[in-house]
Structures are given as C-alpha cells and as structure tokens.
Structure 1
Amino acid sequence: MSGLLRMFRMEPPVRAVILLTTLMVSALVGGTAFLLYDLRQRELEYARAEIESLSRVLAEQTSRTLDGVSLSLRGAQERLSDAIGQRLELDSFPVQALLKARAEGLPQYSSMFVLDATGEVMNSTLFGRRPGISVADQDYFSSLVEGSSRKVFVSQLYRRRVDGQWTFYLSTRLVDGAGHFRGVMAVAVLADYFESFYRRLDLRFGKQIQLVDARGHLVASFPSRIEGIDQPVGSAPLPGDPGQQKAPESRLVTETASGTERFVAYHAVPQYPFVIGVSVDQDAALVAWPMAARPILFGAGAVAALILAAAGGMIWSMRRRATMARALQASDERLRQMVETVMDAIVTVDEDLLIVLFNKAAEQMFGVTAAEVAGKPFAPMLASSAQGAYHAMVGRRRRSGERERAKLGRAELLARSADAREFPVDATFSETYSQGRRFFTVVLRDLTERKNIETHLRETNRQLQELSTSLQQVREEERASIAREMHDELGQLLTGIRLELSWLGSKMPADRADLQDKLNVVKGQLNQTISSVRRITYELRPLILDDLGLHAAISWLTDDFSKRTGVEVVSDVCESEPEHGSAEATTLFRVLQESLTNVTKYAKATTVWVDYRRTNRDWCLTVRDDGVGFALGDPNKKAGFGLVGMRERVRLLQGSFTIESAPGEGTVIDVAIPATNS
C-alpha cells in the first residue's frame, strides 16, 4: 500500500480509493467480531432452551409412562373391589389371571403382585401363587396399612431381592365390603426401563439426563451411572406435591464443575414425585459454534481480500483505461471486418425491429446498400407469406422480456429483392443483449440453387419410378407371354410326340426287345422334358395365377415348396382374393415366391408359416420362418436384390413392406397392399 501511495502521490482519486478501502476493511473486521460474539450467545441460548424443552418433554413422557402403570393398577384394584372380586381369595387362580391380563403388553413394569393384610405376597405375575415372600417392611406396604386414601403410592428405590435390579413400586390399598384393610396391590417398575428409553433418544452435543425421586436420589440416568443410583443429587430440587393443580415449571440453573460451566434444566414430573434433569456442558453447547464461525471468518477474509483486490484493480484500471479503450476500438473494427467478409447475409435489428447492421453479402442478396435500409424495418424485405413467420419468431421473444442470450431457431423463408424477385432463404435467428438493449440477428443463405437441384432430383426420381413400374409390367407381360407360349405350343408339341412314340411302340415287332428298350428310354427323356417345361412355365408365371387366382396359386406354390425342400409349411389362406392376373395378385405371389426362395437359400428353417388375409382396406401377406435369422442393422451385410425387389414391387402399389429378423430368431416379412376392388 505504501508503494501505491508513493506511485500515485499526486493523484487525489487514488488517495480517496485507499482511504475508502481502509474504512471498509475496518468496518468489516468490527462487524465480523460482533457477529461471532452474537452467534456464540445465540448458541448458548439455544442450548439452554433445548435442554429446558427436552426436560419438559421427558417429564411429560415419564408422567404418561407412569399413568399407564397407574391405570393398569387401578383397573386391577377396581376388579378386586367389586362384588365378585371381594369374594375371591387373593391367592386364587382368578386373581392370578387378572394380574397377568393387566400386565400383558405393558413394558413399563416387570411384575404385578398382591399382598395380604400382613404384607405377604399372595399372588404375582413373576413368582406365581404364594411364593412365601413378605414385604411388610417396605414403604409401599407400610404406608398403606392405615388410612383410607385411594391414591397411588410411589415408593422409594429398592434393590430387588431376586435379581438385584433397582426398582420402585406403585401401590394402592385393597379393602373388603365393610371398608376394612384387605391388602395391597403393587406394581414393580424397573429403573433400567427409563435408562433404556433414554438410550434410544438422539442426544447430540453431550446432553445428559437424570431422573430424581422425592428424596433427591438418582433413579436413572443417561449416560448410565450405576454407582450413582440411589445416591443424592446435590443440585436437584425436590419435587412438590404430586397432586398440585398448577402445572409444574422448569428450573434452569448454571453449575461450575472442574472449571467448566454446565447448564441444567429441571422439570417436575406431573402427578408423580419425580424430577427430570437435562444438562449440557458449555463446551458441548458451543460445539457447532466453531463450525459456523469458520465460514464467517473465511468469508470475511475473502471479502477483505476482494476489497483490497478491487482497490488495486481500480487503481490499476485508472492507468489502463485509455489503453483498453483503444484496444476495444480495434476489436470493434476487427469484428466489423469479419461481419463484412462473411459469405452469408447478416442482418441485425433492434427491439423496434429496425435494421442496425446490414453486411456486404446482404447488400448483394437484396440489391440495396446498407445506408438505404439503415433504420428501416426488415419485414418488407420478406415475401408476404414469410412475414408472419418472421414476426412469430422474433416478435414473441421481443415481448417476453428475457435478458439471457438465446437462440431463436431457424426457418425457411421467402425473401424479396429490390427488383421484386422472390427467392427462398435459410434464416437462422439469434438474440443478444448488449448495453441494456436487445438485438436480433438473422443470418440468411440463398437456397435458390439448392431448391433447383432438389426439384431436379425429385423429377428424376419420379421418372425412374415410372420407368421401374413400366419395366416391371413389361417383364411380367413378357414372362406371361413366354409361359403361355411354352405351355400352349411347346407343351402340345411334346405331348403329340409322346403320343406318336406310344403308337410307334405298339407297332414294333415283339421280337425286337432292343428297339422296345430304346423307345422306353426316349419316352422317359420326353417325360422329363415335359416336366422341365412345366416347371419353367410355372417359374416364369404360373398360369394358375391367371386362370384360377391367387388362392390356388399360393396353395400350389407352398405344396411344391414343401415337396422340393422337405420344409413344413403351415398355411392360413383366406378365400377372398384380388382379380385374377391383377397387379396386386402378381405382387403378392412374387413376394411369397421370393420369400420361400430366401428360406431355401439362407434360413435353414424347419417350418414356414404363411398367412394371407383380407382386411377392410388391404390385402395382407405374412411369411414367417424359424430359421437362423440375421441382423438387420449390420453394416457389413447389405440387403440382397431379392429384398430390394420385393420392397420395390410393394412400393409401386402404394403398399407397405416390413421385415423383422434377429440372429437365431427367424425372419418375418409383412406386406400390405391397398385393395382396389371389393
């Protein structure tokens, strides 16, 4: 800082920046110190309020726990005090069943038992009937021998004889019909139950819990202190009268032990002579304070560093401002040159959709100069049909009020040049926000040449399709003509030759066996020739397709295929069929013929399913096999001419052709051709 003062000694703005920085850092340090102190006090206050609330909640929970015991105890007392219960002996089985029923499902106590007038245990859920135990010396019995109180008595803490566990008892008097003392009904509550309950609580930051009885002795605690059970707790207040109507209040005290402060909140258990104490050490209460203080200190340090860095940056910027301005001007010039040299037309409009930038390519595209269109709307430079799309793309975004940079998309529009010539363009819209203003940029590319090429390609494709259709028709006609001639002429000639040979054989001398054998050989060769002619005729074009229709042709083709290859064919062929010899019938037959040929060559199938049917609008053919299949998307395997030919045949009739296959899953070919007749 001293170096900066020496460097800028004669510059008042620099001295003002340094003074302001010093004041800001000083205020930041003071504010941080006050914030940390206030945060510490708040943490302590929160810890005190938390243990006070926890003591109240635990006192109420303890009261509800003991209420459950008292309710069960009073229920058993009332059953033994009614007309039926007074006639029962205290050591009878019905009394034992009553005790077990009342004790069922209550984890708060370990046993319920009944004493006679001498203090001897007559029945118990723990020992059974007449265990021979006397508790006449215990306060929960002796305190109820005299008097007529129906209140539940809570005893002091005892170490139980049978297992040595610390226990206190809740008891009540039993009287006969004349009101004479009959005995005592009592419940044993283990102090360990409360410790197990405290252990289940999520006590963070070192909190401790104590349950203190009416004598000020410890009953249960967490963390557990076995050596402190039934020992006096010095700072715990004694509970008031359990029957008081006023709700008990919490008492918060601060203790000092081993040089460390500790906060303790005591709260009396409503209706019972116990006090709940919850304590926390000051160090434990402040365990979260360093974690909260560290980010504050780090943030304050970071802010101070930022202030110092900002001050240094401001001082440095004072010297660099002129240099940066010159660099910015040079950058703007380079950007302008880049925009001007781009081959695509670039037009930028402001929020009012008025032109603010029009590069050289745009001038050449529209036939106007940038000076002529500056400040004018861009919409008139588009055809009427394209202006709606332009406003929908730009206008909606202009009204949205969003400030972020965003791409608006692209569209094909029709532009208009200065000589009113309309031409297609590819327009890309984008949005920028600069210096509080929004701008929209349109990048335009002339599509005239591309459109011409596309039109030429479409026309060429159309002509090729027409040529393909014509070739298919000519091919089918030639095949039908050849098949007809072979069947009618060549077939008749061969049949005549066979008849003549038969006549000649009948005229041969019987003793010329050699001539007869030769004649039989010639007949066999002639029969083979007739079969070959018939097969070639059907492969060229089966006359059955023209004479008997598609249904008969499918039946003949599948039967012949099954005989030649041994592959089973399962056919489901409907009776309805296209017109005999029609293009639909021919296409469906050729697809089936090519599919079966592929099965023979590649599929290695054992069964082929052929399904031919008529829907409301289409003739449908499905050919499925259980062969090896193939991967449709395999780039190493190109589609064969058979599949291409089938697809092209179906497409010429405006039909659909689909193929499904996978390695090991066979192949399915589906064809649907629109029906042109009913």
Structure 2
Amino acid sequence: MLGIALKNLSRRAVFIAGGLLVLVVISGTAVALWLYRSAALAGGEWHLKNIAVALAEQTRQGVLTVDIALRATAEEYSGQVAAGVFSEQVLHRGMHQRVAELPQLRSLLIISPDGRLVAHSEALPVPPVNYGDRDYFAAQRDARDPRLFFGVPVKGRVIQEWTHPVSRRISGANGKFLGVATAAFAVPYFHEVYRSLELGPMGRVFLFRRDSILLTAFPQEGAELGRSFTAHALFGSAMPAASSGVLRTTGLVDSHPRLIAYHSLPDYPLVIAVSSTTDYVLREWRRQSLYAAVSAFAAVAVILLGAFLLARQLRVAQELAGEVAEAERRWLGAVEAAGHGVWDWDVVAGKTFRSAHYHQMLGYSDQEIPASREGWLQLIHPEDRKLAHQGNQACLDGRVDTFSTELRLRCKDGSWKWVLNRGTAVSRDARGRALRVLGTITDVTEHQQAQQQLRDSEARLNAIIGSAMDAIITVDEHQNIVLFNAAAEKIFRCPARGAPGREAIGAPLDRFIPERFRAAHRAHVERFGATGVTMRRMGENVVLAGVRAGGEEFPIDASISQVEVGGEKFYTVILRDITERQRAAAALEQSHRELRELYGVMHEVREAERVRIARELHDELAQWLTALKMDVSWMAARLPKDLTRLVDRTARMKEVVDTTVAAVRRIAADLRPVMIDDLGLIPAIEHLLHEVSQRSGILVSLDAKVHDVEFRDPLATAVYRMVQEALTNVARHAQASLVEVILKCDGGDLMVQVCDNGRGIDEAALRKGKSYGVLGIRERAQTLGGAARIFRSAEGGTTVEITIPLRAHQRRQATA
C-alpha cells in the first residue's frame, strides 16, 4: 500500500509541476512580448533618430556647398558694382560654372534692389522678369544682417521648374542694399535622397524652417508646402525642449500614430523630421508575437503530454535503472579511453564491441569483423601478431593495467594500415585476471610513412655529405664541431672519430683556423648568426686560410649557412682547398705578365726597325732621288727648244721624281714621325691631325692639357700610335664630320679621348673582337699598364678612352 501511495504521490507531483510550468510559460511569454514590444519601439526610435541625424548632416553639407557658391556669386557681383564694371556675361559664366559643379543646385540668380533680374546662370541675356513679390526678396530687403534665408518652394520664372530658393542679402561697403543673391535647389535632389530611406509604406520625411514653415516633404501627397505647423507637438513642446529627439504622437499631415524623429541643423534654421507609423515599427514584433503565442501553446501541450507520459513511465524507469547504469558506465569508460576507434572486450563472454569508426577506419561494415579475439588476431600482420599477443596477455594476466602497441591491421581492400592500439583493464576477478578491457585504435599510417621518409632522407643526406668533394663542417652555437664529412677528413688530415683529443667531432672549430684569424672568425660567425641571413659567401675581400692537423696552413674558399633546430642554431661551412687553384692563377698571371713584356719588346723592336727603315729611306733613297732630279733638270736646261717631245718628256720625268720624293718622305714619316723626336708628342699629334683633316676632309680639333708632362719613349710613341689608329678607324668607318682629341691628366693617370660625331660603333661587332685596330689600341694600353675603353656616346658617335698610369712610367724613366 505504501508503494502505491508513493507512486500516486509522484504522479500528483508531476501534474502539479506540469501546471506550474504551464503558468510559467504563459506568464513568461506575456512578459517577453511586452519587453520585446518596448525594445522594438526603442529600436525604431534609435533607427529614426540616426536617419534624422544623417539626413541633417547630409542637408547641412549640401546647403554649405550651395552657400559657398552663393557667397562667391554675391561677392563677385558686389565687387563689380563697387568697381563700376558690371559684366553680365562674366557674371553668367561664373554662375553657370558653379551650377554645373553642384548636382543639388539648379540655378543661381542676382536680383537688383528694385526686384529686377540682373543675372541668371541659365539665361544670357536675362529676360525682363521681376522677383519683387517673392518672400525671400522681401525678407532680405528688410533684413539688416546677411543671414541665409530659406524660402518656400516656388516655380521658377525662367526655367519653369519647382525649386527651393535659398538667398543672401548683397550689401555694399556702407551697408547699402545692392540686391539679393538666390540659389535654387532642385526639388528632385531632396526627393532622390529621401526615396532611398526605408521608412515603411507610410513613412515620411519633412524639411521645416525653424519657425515651423514646411519647405519640402516626401512623399508630397497631402503635404501643403509653406504651411505653418506651430500647433503640432513637434514645435509646441518637443523643439523648445531639445534640438534633437524622438516623440510618439499623431502624424503631421495625418492622424496615424507615429514615431517622429527630428534634428535641428546647428548652422542653419532648418529642422529635419523623419516619421514611420507605429504599425510599421511593430510589424516584426507582431510576427514574432504570433510565433511566440503558437510556441507557447505548443509548449503547454507538450508539457501536459510530457507530464502524462512521465507519470506513466515512472514505473518503467525503475525497471530500467539497472540497465541504464550499466550503459552509462560503459559509455563513461569508453570516453575516458578516448581515441578514434573504440573497442570494448568482454573477456568472460569472449566478445568484443567495436565502434562504427573502428570499422570505417579499416573499411569494414559493422558485422564483418569477427567479435572473437581469434578473429581479431587474423587481421594483424603476421610480423606484428606476437607483439600484439604479448601485450594483450600481459594485461589479461594482471602484470600491467594498460598496454600500447603499434601494429598493422589488414583493411577490407587488402592493404595494411598502421594503428596505435591502446587498452586498459577496467575490471578484474579476485585472482587479478582481467574481466573487461576498454581501448582505442588510432590511425598512425601517415606518422609511420613520415618516419620512413625521414629515415630515407637522412640516408640520402648522409650519402651526399659523405660523397661530396668539398669539406662540409657543421658547428653548434658554441662553434664546436658536430659534423665532419670524409672530404673534411681528407683536407684537414684529421679523422671525424678516433682517439680522444685527435678526433674532429666535439672539438672547437678554432682547431682548424690559424691562431691570428680565430677571434675575427668567431666574431664573423656571431654577426652572421645575428643577421638571420640563410647563407653567405666567406672571404670575398680577404683570403681565408685553414690549418691541417699537422699545423700546415693552406688557402680555402668557403661559404656559410645557418639553420635553427629546436631553438638552437647550427652553422654549416662548405669549403675547399684552393692551393692548386692559386698556383694555377699565379702561373697564369705570370704568363700574362711575360706576354705583355714580350708584346712591349715586340713593339720596341718594331719601332726600332721602323726608325732604321725610315732613316735609310731618308738618308739614301731620298738623296739618290734628289740627285736624279738635279740630273734631269740639268738635261732639260741643255736641250734645244725645238725638241719639244724631249723637253716634255724631261718635264714629266722631273714631276715623277718629285712625286717619288714626296712619297718617300711620307712613308718615312709614317714609319717614324720625325716630329716626335724633334718637337715632342703634342706637335706630332697636331701634325697628324692636320694630315688627317687634309686627306679626309674631317674637321679635327685638339685639346691638350698636358703641357707640364714630359713624354718619352716608349710612352710617346705608344700614345701617338693609338691616336693614329683611332683616327684611321674614324676615317674608314665612322662617317663623321667632326673629331675631337683630348689629352689630360686625371690624378696620376694620363687620359686620352678620341670622340667623333659619326654613326657610332656597333656593340655586337665590338664584342666579337675581330677589329685589329681596336685590338692594337687595347694591347698597347695594357702593355703600358693602362686600359682602353671603346663605347657609343650618349650624344651619338664613338668615344675611344685610353687611361695610362704616368707615375709608373716616370719611375721607370728615372730608373733607366
């Protein structure tokens, strides 16, 4: 009987609780709807107020730009009146330009003191129109301060459109009334702005003067422009209390309940009013109220039905309590052994529960994996079965509570997947043997593959480092060696691993650096580490040196890189022994020096041979030709005058002898200019330029600023020959009309420039190096220790620039 009473009491409590819940739902819904309605109205007020403020600011900006144009027009007109030079055309041009620049402005006009139209932005000349009856004209005429006046909308008398006039008084220097400057706002300008607002189907926007006169409205239906609204609450109570706010009242032009937000412009006597109907503001609240009411009734029905079902199920719940507790323990145990695939092994029953993800991981359906332990062992790779069995058996025997093994399981498609199998014994018998084991499997295939790739990568890296021809040495932050490859062992003649004190690994890098370079090298590595640069070449400006194990120094070429591993920096140096390379470079330099010396000797020998040939031509051949000329002249003087043919023949012989003598002298001069020996280098070059100009017709000039320099052979001859070769190239190839030769001293160097205004040298042909004249100039310059550069000038033409160090030649001449 007591049990029945307890059950009846429980059922009664359920129904009472259900009734209370129904009451709470209904009352809570009512309160929530009331609060939501208040919030909706507050949100509507906030929204409308923001719109009013934004429209006020937009209107202020629009009026400000028009006011600027209006002021400029008034000042321009008053300036013309004051100067007595009124020009309607000039005034019209400025007004029309200002109207074109402002989209909100329809026209600008100037009205004289008697009301006549003086100037109009849209008409030239202006028609005979009078504006003396306009309200803004009367207001500005009678006003004493130049304030901006906003008139009621009117239809224009020139452009025949409805506009909003804004005017300013034009006064002279003594305050005399000169007229009215008026700007006409385009009515569509305000309407286009107001049309874009979301105020609902009956929403309205008004623009008032601060004295409650309506200037414009959107939509305009039912709104009487120019009407005063002093009696409305907006101007009767709201505006005197605050310049900006929201009020709940009837509409300005209708009787609908509305929210009206207003904002006064701080700089102008204007008020923006924005209104929406209360029905529109609460539209969303009504929809939500319907949903809330339906939901509340549904909740009441559910509560009542739930109370009935709950009372019915109280008896069943007691019977299921034991099973629910067991299911809860199983679930909590599985969660504590969290993993990707969950399994639960009932050792006594010999069955295993596996989660759906366990099967999905291997590609099986829920019933395809056998529930027995033997069936599970068949899924394990043969090489991993022994390890898996040992781990499970240790847990079953009580030697361990948990186990974890990595093994391979066969997927449904025949592939093998690496998994991490972990298990925990959650219950044991009196002898300590496991009765139930919970566990998880986690897919670690990618981890195993990554480890294998890492091992393969390390093997390849070790093979590369071991077979590298260059020495590779890695040091830690303290510059102790951690890697020393086979090439490094060979170069430094020190084993990487060996007897303590003799091996390279673990030794400081300073061991293989000459003592005089150790401090600088350590500082260089530290600076390099601080830069964060990945790699840098070492020893670009100085020669690096290493020390072999036996103490022998040798030159090296090296580069350094850095990497950060686990928060610690490691530096890797790749270097090579360049002893043989330096020997080869020295031998090559010696060969080049000997070739230059040989080339210089060859030039000297050739010049000497030219001198000898020129002397023989001058001393012997020229004298014999002179004697021959004298004999021919003697014969011609003694021939009878009637032997005309013989007289003519002797005259021609005399001309041939003269030509031959001139040719011999020219050849002798070309072989060895006598003027170099007699007068010096500068007169010889002047003579050379004169001859070139005579033969080619090219205008040649010389700018010599080296009068304090004494030129001797072989320098004088070499400079002469280089200038001669450059002029020959100009005459043959440049097609120039002007050549300038410049000799000057730049520091301790002699600079020779030959510049022409021809077609310019071909860069491609110059790179091929097949011009023997160019090669000759360069070889002569290099023989003298200088250099020659040939390039196309920026102004056109070609420049040959030769630089020769004078000090070395002066020392050589002094030694000689």
Normalised by the size of structure 2, how large is the TM-score?
0.54
Q: Verify: 1:357 aligned to 2:490, yes or no.
A: no
CA separation of 1:475 and 1:170: change in aligned 2, threshold 3 A: closer
1:198–1:471: structure 2 CA closer, same or farther, 3 Å change rule? Answer: farther
Specify which of 273, 278, 301 is matched with residue 276 of structure 1.
Answer: 273
Task: Give the corresponding residue for 1:383.
Answer: 514
CA separation in 1, counterparts of 2:660 and 2:699? Answer: 28
Task: Give 1:211's aligned residue.
Answer: 206
Contact 1:547/1:580 (<8 A) preserved: no
Long gaps (5+) in structure 1: 1-42, 73-99, 115-120, 146-150, 173-183, 256-261, 283-306
Q: CA RMSD in A?
A: 5.7
1:102-124, Cα deviation, whole Å (9 max, x unpaired): xx99979977989xxxxxx9645
**Structure 1 residues 582 and 197 mapped into 2: Cα distance closer, same or farther (>3 Å)?**
farther
Q: 1:196 aligned to 2:189? A: yes
Secondary structure in 1 matching 2:688: helix
Matched, 1:669 2:669: no
> Residues 173-572 of structure 1 correspond to what in structure 2 (within 5 A)?
192-193=185-186, 196=189, 210-213=205-208, 219-220=215-216, 225=219, 227=221, 230=224, 238-240=233-235, 247-251=242-246, 265-269=261-265, 272=269, 274-277=271-274, 317-318=443-444, 321-322=447-448, 324-371=450-497, 372-399=503-530, 406-411=534-539, 413-503=544-634, 505-506=636-637, 519-572=650-703
Residues 165 and 185, structure 2, Cα contact 8 Å, conserved in 1: no
Which residue identity lines up with residue 262 of structure 2 in the other structure?
Y
Structure 2 residue matching 1:370: 3-state secondary structure: coil
Contact kept, 8 Å, 2:618 with 2:665, in 1: the verdict is yes
Report the Cα offset of residue 498 of structure 1: 3.0
**C-alpha distance in 2 between matches for 1:625 and 1:186:** 76
Q: Residue 788 of structure 2 is aligned with which of 657, 664, 667?
A: 657
Q: Distance in 2 between matches of 1:567 and 1:452?
A: 52
Question: 1:623, 1:670 within 8 Å by CA — same for their partners in 2?
Answer: yes
User: Structure 2: where are the runs of 5+ without partners?
Assistant: 1-42, 73-90, 100-104, 120-125, 170-176, 251-257, 282-339, 342-356, 362-418, 421-440, 498-502
Deviations 1:122-180 (A, max 9, x none): 645579999899969x89999x99xxxxx9998766667884636579999xxxxxxxx
Instruction: Report if aligned partners of 1:550, 1:577 keep a CA contact under 8 Å in 2.
Output: no
Which whole-Å deviations, capped at 9, do the CAs of 1:166-205 have from their partners, x for residues lacking one?
6579999xxxxxxxxxxx9998988845753786899899
Which residue in 2 is equivalent to 1:642?
773
2-side partners of 1:45 and 1:470: how far apart? Answer: 107
* Distance in 1 between residues matched to 2:156 and 2:650, nearest whole Å: 128
Alpha-carbon distance change, 455 to 329 in structure 1, aligned in 2, over 3 angstroms: same
Shift of 1:353: 1.6
What amino acid does structure 1 have at the position aligned with 2:263? H
Letter aligned with residue 370 of structure 1? A
1:571, 1:611 within 8 Å by CA — same for their partners in 2? yes
Which one is further off, 410-419 or 605-614?
605-614
When residues 617 and 563 of structure 1 are mapped into structure 2, their CA distance, relative to the original with a 3 A threshold, is same
What is the alpha-carbon distance in structure 2 between the residues aligned to residue 322 and residue 673 of structure 1?
A: 71
Provide the C-alpha distance between the structure 1 equivalents of 2:772 and 2:657, rounded to a whole number of angstroms.
35
Partner residue, 2:51: 51
Percent same amino acid at aligned positions? 28
Instruction: Write the deviation string for residues 325-377 of structure 1: whole angstroms up to 9, x where unpaired.
Output: 45533443333233212222111111222111111111111111112122221
Closer, same or farther: CA 263–528 of 1 in aligned 2, 3 Å: farther
Shifted more, 197-206 versus 427-436: the winner is: 197-206
Counterparts of 1:266 and 1:390, CA distance in 2? 79
SS at match of 1:240: helix
Match of 2:714 in 1: 583
From the superposition, tell whether residues 237 and 488 of structure 1 become closer, same or farther in structure 2 (CA, over 3 Å).
farther
Are residues 654 and 532 of structure 1, via their aligned partners in 2, closer, same or farther at CA, if it must alter by over 3 Å? same
State the Cα deviation string for residues 37-68 of structure 1 (Å, max 9, x = none).
xxxxxx99996674254145357668979999
Inter-CA distance 251–379: structure 2 relative to 1 (3 Å threshold):
farther
Say if 1:492 and 1:168 are closer, same or farther in 2 by CA, change over 3 A.
closer
Give 1:456 shift: 0.7
Deviation of 1:391 after TM superposition, in Å, equals 2.3
1:375 and 1:251 mapped to 2: Cα distance? 84
CA distance in 2, matches of 1:655, 1:249: 89
Counterpart contact for 1:632–1:662, Cα < 8 Å: no
Deviations 1:553-594 (A, max 9, x none): 223323333333344434455793754753332223212221
For 2:253, the equivalent position in structure 1 comes to none
Q: Is the 8 A contact 1:157 1:230 kept in 2?
A: no
Q: Tell which structure's C-alpha radius of gyration is larger.
A: 2
Could you tell me which amino acid in structure 2 is paired with residue 266 of structure 1?
Answer: Y
Look up the match of 2:323: none
Structure 2 CA distance, aligned partners of 1:527 and 1:254? Answer: 131
* One-letter amino acid of the counterpart of residue 394, structure 1: V
Indicate the SS of the match to 2:235: coil
Q: Is the 8 A contact 1:622 1:670 kept in 2?
A: yes
| One-letter amino acid of the structure 1 residue matched with residue 473 of structure 2 | V
SS in 2 for 1:373: coil
Partner deviation per Cα, 1:22-46 (whole Å, 9 max, x = no partner): xxxxxxxxxxxxxxxxxxxxx9999
Q: Confirm or deny that 1:165 pairs with 2:162.
A: yes
Q: Which moved more, 1:452-461 or 1:269-278?
A: 269-278
Structure 2 distance, partners of 1:130, 1:506, is: 119
Q: Is the 8 A contact 1:63 1:272 kept in 2?
A: no
| Larger RCO of the pair (alpha carbons < 8 Å, separation 6+) | 1
Q: What TM-score comes out, normalization by structure 1 length? A: 0.64
After superposition, the Cα gap between the structure-2 partners of 1:217 and 1:437, relative to the gap in structure 1 and judged at 3 Å, is same
How many residue pairs are counted as aligned between the two chains? 550
Shift of 1:632: 2.3
Change (3 A) 1:436 1:171: closer
